[in-house]
Structure 1
Amino acid sequence: MLRLLGSQRRLCDGVSRRDLLHIGGLGLYGLTLDRAAQLAAATPPSNTPLSGFGRAKSCIMLFLFGAAPQHETFDPKPEAPAEIQGELRGISTSLPGVAFCEGLPQTARIADRLTVVRSMTHPFPLHCVAYALSGMPAYTTDLETKPRDPAQWPYVGSIADYLWERSPGITSEPGGVPRHIGLPWVFNSQVDDLGLLAGPYAAFLGQQFDPVWAKFEGKPLRVAPKCRHEQPKEYTDPYAAIDPDCRFVFDGAGQFQEQVTIDRFHLRRVLLEQLDTARRAADRAAAERSYTINQSRALSLLTAPKVREALDIGRESPQLRAQYGHTLFGQSCLAARRLVEAGSRFVSVFWDAYGTYFSGAWDTHQNHYPRLKQYLLPGFDAAFSALILDLEQRGLLDETLVLCLSEHGRTPQIDSKPVGAARHHWSEVYSMALAGGGTHRGAVVGRSDRIGGTVAQTPISPKDIHATTYHLLGLDPQAVVYDQQHRPYPVAGDGKVREELLA
């Protein structure tokens, strides 16, 4: 029996609710497709005099959830007092006069390939993932746990996917590889203490423009330092270390056993029959076009060899896999490179909370230095540097935009009261990095003040990063999309293309 993503939750016709959601790609919060796009958006040829329009064919976005500290990544303050600089010092990089945190020695060696922004800023230090990754103009904590709230705006990758869908000359999911993919699993789905968070979803564009989520299958090997000392249990965390014998699959793709040899045409017919039957349980007002797109995508993921090959990190040499690091973030970055090489256009890799949401991932309200030294910085350093060098060596870096960002930064002053110290939420200034795809190689843009607490020069907002991303991807950063009430939404909010970031 061929079983697709089995679950104990069954609909009345025997097909599980979860199976239908994942196989059909109909979303995470119900069977209805009431978010079908009633939209109009244009991507006319850009008349901008700015350089680099359309330089990037694809984008890999690396998101460090929880908020990475600017002092212990790209903006150390070696001249600041100890309560500002902390235990980790700055080290020289391949850019004369520029220092990174000593926990990033491999990244320091590739600084001449990067564009580092030290003056990111916005007013919402609230784990505002949806705000940081969309054109949304304002944010409240109430929205954070409501990923399908009508007030949400579409994720930057979803906007790109939507505009590509309507762009002349861009084929739909070339060779079966989806244009828009998320790794290593559905965002914030692997925690015990909170539901799914807002952020990487298509909002009113329709769930067919959500990322196609991969699924990690593998064994975590190492216990990560605790997020909180009162944390009731320890977690063997895949972001700390994983068994090399791991893999990524798309939900519904590669799930059947190797010995199953059912004819591909027969497989397609059987799946169509299952989906048609299950469809009767779906909302009767579902949009026919949206359903058809998701059904077609599900079948493509199940049957296309190119999809399975692109996700098969086992095809890479043991040496290269080791360079990325045998961690979930490292192997996800490697999978992202394989996916863009195979034709995907926007791949998001999340360093996500695991086990516990509260103070999870990079949210170091406690145990700041043990987590940075033993867990966060080594894994990030290996993966990020390996990705940039791998893309460069394959001739892909010039046409692949790499973004590395968080939702905000962390406080300039260390809180020494918790064991292991802490830095708390801070959005007045923080750092990010870009590479490839038409960005200004070997540049440091903007400056924070002497303690890394405020912007001293060249403030840049997340919306500016989105506008610049669209520009480099050949999409009009001033495009407008419309929701179901025909209200206009500028794709980058009030963001502007930042010339300082362009080659």
Structure 2
Amino acid sequence: MLRVLGSHKRFCDGLTRRDLLHVGALAPLGLTLPDWSRAASEPAANGFGSAKRCILLYLWGSPSQIDTFDPKPNAPAEIRGALGSIQSCLPGVRVGEVLPKVAANLHRLTVLRSLGHQSPIHGTAFALTGVPATDLPLEGNVRDPRHWPFVGSVVDHLAARADPTAPAVPRNYWLPFPFGSKRGPSRPGPYGGFLGPAHDPVWAEFRAPGTHTVLRDSGDPNTPKKEVADPYAGVRPGDRFDLGPADDTLTLDRLHGRGSLLDQLDAGRRAMDAAPAAAAFDRHRALARAVVSSGKLRAALDVQREPTRVRDRYGMTLFGQSCLAARRILEAGGTFVTVCWDEYGLVNTGWDTHVYQTPRLKDELGPGLDAALIALLDDLEARGMLADTAVVVLSEHGRTPRVQSVAGGGRDHWARAYSAAFAGAGFARGRVVGRTDKIGGDVIEVPVSPKDVVATVCHVLGIGPDTELHDRLGRPYPAAGPGRVRPELLG
């Protein structure tokens, strides 16, 4: 079978027939479904539909708000930690010392310092979908029936309803590899949820080892430390992204390598038609054929075509080169691209800094994010794309105000207050929204929930947060769950 998406099911015909958007569903413009794509290209005064596309930078594991976007320079040492803060280009606004490029460019961003909720677990599903509540079983089961669709899946679903033609470049793409796949089983969150697996992201794949071998420590005495060649710490210029994850039958890479396009498509058809549930693969097959026949996605992933000086600005790391690939995918016609800084090789890695937080923030995490984010904004602006591209930097929670007495310092999970950043289409520039208390532990002004962020991202993409989505039984759900659009974030 041809593996393109994360699963091989399709939502039933009942959903296909009944999933119609009613008048007023795309509030506030009252648009019907065929008007969705046009709405996204006609900005309104409140930012609705001002973004034609979006890049989500997802920092799995959760950055410390105090060491990045919400420092507390006057707090006691056990709150401040070993790292300091620096003055940004905005008067009176400081950021962590590990983000000097961000500090110099804060006039281009909106920083949200007042995100919060009550679930200090790695809740990617809660952070990136409209699901109203979360728990450990939900966040531990990719196919829990309670899952709502990832925001990128909502974009894909609505666009597919407006135009069922398979795009040459996937509308919902995830870099650099399937979520969670480099440290164990896949994690929930960025999937089609009740819309069905047909709207899971299309995953990239990256198989090269990193250039730097680092000792990783999960902080769990029952888990041995491990030497890991982590590509987030460095990659070689020739290391390449693949179109999709490895498959033991037929992959896009193998399909692309056949002698002629006809042979490629016929081979794919024969392989899929041999499967018992071949009818369920129609959407996957159509997408695979469109991707293979156009070659646009393969070309976009070929970051080696970029000048060395451009690649160096992003950083010769997996995150940096993934951000560059994301920009190229949007140029090729993509709509929603996620770049995830994921765990690699061992649990409690990525931005999950329970131990060795100080050296990891100083030497890896801070510099990697700092370079890639600003290079991405620079490139989008230079190409005239930033005005209609939304850029979102987000995670699932924050970290404890008090530094833990562990090797290298560390902070544990904390959901009551954390930060995010926004730039580009629809979002304000040079604005700081919300405020936390003296130790960065609780929100005291402008509380914002993850559902509000989902609603606001949908809004700038031309999707009213009350837009009706339907599950397999035809039951309606608002696209952003209980979230509401936050004008404080909008330009």
TM-score over 0.5 for the alignment?
yes
Q: Which residue of the other structure, out of 167, 175, 182, is the alignment partner of 1:183?
A: 175
1:127-146 → structure 2 map (5 Å cutoff): 127-146=122-141
Letter in 2 for 1:184: P
1:430 CA displacement:
0.3
- State the match for 2:273 in structure 1: 276
- State the match for 1:46 in structure 2: 28
Q: Does structure 1 conserve the Cα–Cα contact (< 8 Å) formed by 2:252 and 2:288?
A: no
Matched, 1:460 2:442: no
SS of aligned partner of 2:226: coil
Q: Does structure 2 conserve the Cα–Cα contact (< 8 Å) formed by 1:37 and 1:483?
A: no
Q: Does structure 2 conserve the Cα–Cα contact (< 8 Å) formed by 1:250 and 1:301?
A: no
SS of aligned partner of 2:232: coil
Letter in 2 for 1:464: D
1: CA distance between counterparts of 2:26 and 2:225?
Answer: 55
1:219 CA displacement:
3.3
1:46 CA displacement:
2.7
Taking a change above 3 Å as real, the CA distance of residues 218 and 493 of structure 1, as seen in their structure-2 partners, is same
- State the match for 1:449 in structure 2: 437
- Percent identity (aligned): 44
Q: Does structure 2 conserve the Cα–Cα contact (< 8 Å) formed by 1:181 and 1:213?
A: yes
Q: Does structure 1 conserve the Cα–Cα contact (< 8 Å) formed by 2:435 and 2:445?
A: yes
- State the match for 2:57 in structure 1: 62
Taking a change above 3 Å as real, the CA distance of residues 276 and 128 of structure 1, as seen in their structure-2 partners, is same
2: CA distance between counterparts of 1:50 and 1:26?
Answer: 37
2: CA distance between counterparts of 1:223 and 1:36?
Answer: 50
- State the match for 1:346 in structure 2: 336
1:74 CA displacement:
0.5
Taking a change above 3 Å as real, the CA distance of residues 295 and 433 of structure 1, as seen in their structure-2 partners, is same
1: CA distance between counterparts of 2:468 and 2:255?
Answer: 45
Taking a change above 3 Å as real, the CA distance of residues 430 and 276 of structure 1, as seen in their structure-2 partners, is same
Q: Which residue of the other structure, out of 113, 116, 119, is the alignment partner of 2:114?
A: 119
Letter in 1 for 2:104: R
- State the match for 2:149 in structure 1: 154
- State the match for 2:259 in structure 1: 262
- State the match for 1:7 in structure 2: none
Taking a change above 3 Å as real, the CA distance of residues 409 and 94 of structure 1, as seen in their structure-2 partners, is same
1: CA distance between counterparts of 2:129 and 2:268?
Answer: 35
SS of aligned partner of 1:166: helix
1:112 CA displacement:
0.7
1:207-218 → structure 2 map (5 Å cutoff): 207-218=197-208
SS of aligned partner of 1:372: helix
- State the match for 1:97 in structure 2: 92
Deviations 1:69-100 (A, max 9, x none): 10111011111111111111110112121111
Q: Does structure 2 conserve the Cα–Cα contact (< 8 Å) formed by 1:225 and 1:375?
A: no
Deviations 1:448-488 (A, max 9, x none): 11110100100111111111111111112111212123332
Aligned residues: 465
Indicate the larger mover: 113-122 or 229-238: 229-238
1:156 CA displacement:
1.0
Letter in 1 for 2:378: L
Task: Give the TM-score taking structure 2 as reference length.
Answer: 0.90
Q: Which residue of the other structure, out of 329, 332, 345, is the alignment partner of 2:319?
A: 329
Letter in 2 for 1:308: R
Taking a change above 3 Å as real, the CA distance of residues 98 and 291 of structure 1, as seen in their structure-2 partners, is same
Letter in 2 for 1:138: A
- State the match for 1:16 in structure 2: none
Indicate the larger mover: 52-61 or 385-394: 385-394
SS of aligned partner of 2:420: strand
2: CA distance between counterparts of 1:403 and 1:391?
Answer: 14
Deviations 1:167-211 (A, max 9, x none): 3xx67454x1111101001100011xx421111000121211111
1:427 CA displacement:
0.7
Indicate the larger mover: 217-226 or 95-104: 217-226
Deviations 1:259-280 (A, max 9, x none): x561212221222122212x22
Q: Which residue of the other structure, out of 223, 231, 234, is the alignment partner of 2:227?
A: 234
Q: Which residue of the other structure, out of 457, 473, 478, is the alignment partner of 1:485?
A: 473
Taking a change above 3 Å as real, the CA distance of residues 360 and 457 of structure 1, as seen in their structure-2 partners, is same
2: CA distance between counterparts of 1:220 and 1:458?
Answer: 41
1:356 CA displacement:
1.2
2: CA distance between counterparts of 1:367 and 1:491?
Answer: 39
Matched, 1:298 2:292: no
Matched, 1:369 2:358: yes
1:50 CA displacement:
6.2
Gaps of 5+ in 2: 31-43, 245-249
2: CA distance between counterparts of 1:37 and 1:207?
Answer: 16
CA RMSD in angstroms, aligned pairs only: 2.0
Letter in 2 for 1:91: I
Letter in 2 for 1:245: G
- State the match for 1:3 in structure 2: none
Q: Does structure 2 conserve the Cα–Cα contact (< 8 Å) formed by 1:253 and 1:302?
A: no
Taking a change above 3 Å as real, the CA distance of residues 115 and 37 of structure 1, as seen in their structure-2 partners, is farther
Letter in 2 for 1:480: E
Q: Which residue of the other structure, out of 227, 230, 238, is the alignment partner of 1:245?
A: 238
Gaps of 5+ in 1: 1-19
